[in-house]
Structure 1
Amino acid sequence: MPAPLTDATVDALRAQTPGTQHTTHFNHAGASLPSTATLEAVHAHLWREATMGPMEAGVAARAQIERARSLAAGLLNAQPAEIAVTTGNSQAWGSAFAALGTWQPGDRILVGRHEWGGNLASMRLSAVRAGASIEVIPSDDSGEVDPEALEAMLDERVRLIALTWMPANGGLINPAAAIGQIARRHGIAYFIDAAQAVGQIPVDVAQLGCDVLTGAGRKALRGPRGTGLLYVRQDFLPRLTPAYVDTQTAPLDDDGEPVVRSDAARFESVEVASALRCGLANALQEALDIGVDNIRTRIDAVAQTLRAELAQIDGVAVLDQGRERSGLVAFNVAGIDAREVQRALAAQGVAVGSNGVGYTPFDMNARGLTQIARASVSYLTTEAEIGKLVESLRTLVR
């Protein structure tokens, strides 16, 4: 069991993270800061490719490249055969969705109010154009997706329940396991977009009851951009036919017929960014070594401190909903466009994010929001960094 994170431990981790010496980073939900060891893992494989040749380097480092899959399985309480290493969360989610096959008029997709705009785009391009519908599951008074309301919506035409576990526009955490219990009881396919969750909170796919779960390497895991994870439950794999295959994912048999792989790697490609996968493996190992329970505890405490500090600033409104909250802290500054807030803080060396309606359209429209500023924390975030962000915002308000 990894030891709890102390201030001394965090200082040591920051010393191994070059970015902490150059920026005050509150955009970990966009992309976090990689460690020196992760950067070295990427560089080491690039050097192998430069000196051995890229194909030969891939063979020589095959075990190291494949390590990301087994580490991800351990992180998610899955089997390695249920994990595909992808180029990102959106690619993972879109590939699984496309593999569901042809949609029919009258088919229904039920989504949480916080569904990611990219997922909605995929649904609209194929399912809705074919005559299926996207319907929003009501939220309760806290803003979370309401499991009881979901149950009341179900009939034989519901083909998919999709949930963005932790939305991009604030700190709310949806009740993913409660939704999973309903989906399993009714035998309905259940997809979880866990882009913000993987590496930030404990993820147990068996406890969640999901058929598909996706995650990003660049966010809480602190892995390289251009990496992601796709979990597909083994019993669910036969229901998914990839929209695209190649010589690795569906090699031709003696009769010239494609034989689709029996594991989740059917959603990968023969063209692997091996250096990035080496970096992802290191990032996954670091998360496991620190302990996701410890990460969750630290991030929750830091985010609570940040929310309390922001709430004391006249003209700043904290916008987070939910009973349980993540390390994403949404706020707006009265009279100042969120993108201008982002630019003004960047000029002072403080990085935050800003989101518009397109990121989470159902939720933003339901709450009458056109934009939000977002300060997202990590277990690396310190009180001194919170102080700098707060003082920069006070200056901006004045």
Structure 2
Amino acid sequence: MNIAQLRADTPGVEQLIHFNNAGAALMPDPVIDVMTRHLQFEARLGGYEAAGQRAAELENVYGAIGRLINADPDEIAVIENATRAWDMAFYSLPLQPGDVVLTSTTEYAGNFIPYLQLKQQRGIEIRLIPNDEQGQVSLGALQDMLGDERVALVSLPMIATNGGPVQPIEQIGALARDAGVLFLLDACQGVGQMPIDVRKIGCHLLAATSRKYLRGPRGMGFLYVEKSLCQNLEPAFLDLHAASLLTPDTFKIRDDARRFENWECNVAAKLGLGAAVEYALAQGIEPMWQRIQQLANHLRHRLAEVPGVTLRDRGALTSGIVTFTRQDSSAAHVQQWLAGQDKRINVSTSTFRSTLLDMQQRGLQEVSRASVHAYNTEGEIDALIEALMRMPRI
């Protein structure tokens, strides 16, 4: 990869060291330019009129996302964020009393809460897939659990927000398919970081965000719905974009995945998402993934040298999300120290509120999270380590 060009395209690297890519990565110039040009266009022409002028570019967003994850454009819905995309998929599933949802201990609280809501409302059952000795879901246990005919859904994140393993999603997808069970994949931390092929994975639904490793704008995400499933799912919410009013008594839901969208959207952000996808594809997802792994492994190696620091990542395959704790210092204090005016290093804090089950299982309340991207450098990692070495204990 041309790292110098990646950094030249990223104005933020001139101001700070950014290791919060699992939260919101720094946008490259092509994304910023597309969005600002459209906002200026709206100001001069009007919002509706500007969107009309950009109809072809907006349509191209679906094709770009399709190329990114190996899906057809009509299997893609562009939705205002990944949470809402996931919600639209989950709440549209015809889960009935007694149906079982299988998930992992690394499930995000924002997804687990809806499970509990449908447990209260519809009487579904939630079961946790045990982990293997490396911390990812046990494929043997999953296969056994799928033998229960009441299992209706496997739903989990491919990479947890608090680090941990890259789940064996292709094997999970194959097991779910063989059992005739739907598979909903939360790919928020995976899309843009590593190659994603929904055909190989075998997931029926996938939700992802723009703002993380894709390096797009906040407030934008997308949903993939397999074509053969799409028309069998009625979205939990409909409007005049998702459906057409035929008579005063009848309506018709559109055939493609855009039945999960609504009419109003942030057009500039949607164009920004498309630009981010095109930028990632142009750089190459596979070399991006190799670069991220190289940097993350270097960071783990260097962190192991820091007195009082304990690495907290698990898994046979780890990602660009590197988590650690520091003896006698809270994660919030680590974050504040690194962000100090003379250092300007961004990391984040992941608490038990986001991944309660995993954190409880491991006896953790919080971790510091340093998430690398391809535009980061070994020199930036060294600066992070130097700052941690100088950090006073409290």
Asked whether the two chains share a fold, i.e. TM above 0.5, the reply is yes
Give the counterpart letter for 1:326 in structure 2.
S
Is 1:143–2:143 an aligned residue pair?
Answer: no
The gaps in structure 1 that reach 5 residues or longer are none
Map 1:105-184 to 2 at 5 A: 106-154=98-146, 155-184=148-177
Q: Secondary structure at the match of 2:391?
A: helix
Q: Secondary structure at the match of 2:240?
A: coil
Aligned to 1:212: 205
CA–CA separation in structure 1 for the residues paired with 2:337 and 2:191:
30
Q: Secondary structure at the match of 2:194?
A: coil
- Cα distance, 1:169–1:338 mapped onto 2, change above 3 Å: same
Structure 1 residue corresponding to 2:74, chosen from 81, 85, 94: 81
The gaps in structure 2 that reach 5 residues or longer are none
Aligned to 2:51: 58
CA–CA separation in structure 2 for the residues paired with 1:90 and 1:57:
27
Give the counterpart letter for 1:122 in structure 2.
P
| Over 6 Å off, 4+ runs | none
Is 1:365–2:360 an aligned residue pair?
Answer: yes
Superposed CA deviations along residues 256-294 of structure 1, whole A, max 9, x for unmatched, are 412111111111111021100111111100100011001
Aligned to 2:369: 374
Tell me the TM-score normalized by structure 2.
0.97
Contact 1:171 1:327 in 2 (8 A): no
CA–CA separation in structure 1 for the residues paired with 2:182 and 2:231:
13
Q: Tell me how large the CA RMSD over aligned residues is.
A: 1.1
Task: Return the offset for 1:135.
Answer: 1.0
CA–CA separation in structure 2 for the residues paired with 1:171 and 1:377:
15
Tell me the TM-score normalized by structure 1.
0.96
Higher percent of residues as strand: 2
Aligned to 2:34: 41
Contact 2:163 2:321 in 1 (8 A): yes
Aligned to 1:356: 351
Task: Return the offset for 1:150.
Answer: 0.7
Structure 1 residue corresponding to 2:291, chosen from 295, 298, 301: 298
CA–CA separation in structure 1 for the residues paired with 2:79 and 2:194:
21
Aligned to 1:287: 280
Aligned to 2:326: 333
CA–CA separation in structure 2 for the residues paired with 1:226 and 1:23:
23
CA–CA separation in structure 1 for the residues paired with 2:326 and 2:382:
17
Contact 1:144 1:172 in 2 (8 A): yes
Identity, in percent, stands at 38
CA–CA separation in structure 2 for the residues paired with 1:59 and 1:371:
47
Task: Return the offset for 1:314.
Answer: 0.8
Contact 1:163 1:176 in 2 (8 A): no
Q: Secondary structure at the match of 1:103?
A: coil
Contact 1:103 1:126 in 2 (8 A): no
CA–CA separation in structure 1 for the residues paired with 2:357 and 2:121:
19
Q: Secondary structure at the match of 1:252?
A: strand
- Cα distance, 1:256–1:56 mapped onto 2, change above 3 Å: farther
Map 1:12-31 to 2 at 5 A: 12-31=5-24
CA–CA separation in structure 2 for the residues paired with 1:230 and 1:381:
29
Task: Return the offset for 1:101.
Answer: 3.3
Contact 2:71 2:198 in 1 (8 A): yes
Structure 1 residue corresponding to 2:189, chosen from 196, 217, 234: 196
Contact 2:30 2:279 in 1 (8 A): no
Contact 2:95 2:152 in 1 (8 A): no
Count of paired positions: 390
CA–CA separation in structure 1 for the residues paired with 2:381 and 2:55:
42
Contact 1:26 1:375 in 2 (8 A): yes
Give the counterpart letter for 2:284 in structure 1.
G
Task: Return the offset for 1:127.
Answer: 3.2
Aligned to 1:310: 303
Q: Secondary structure at the match of 1:359?
A: coil
CA–CA separation in structure 2 for the residues paired with 1:199 and 1:344:
29
Contact 1:114 1:167 in 2 (8 A): yes
Task: Return the offset for 1:15.
Answer: 1.2
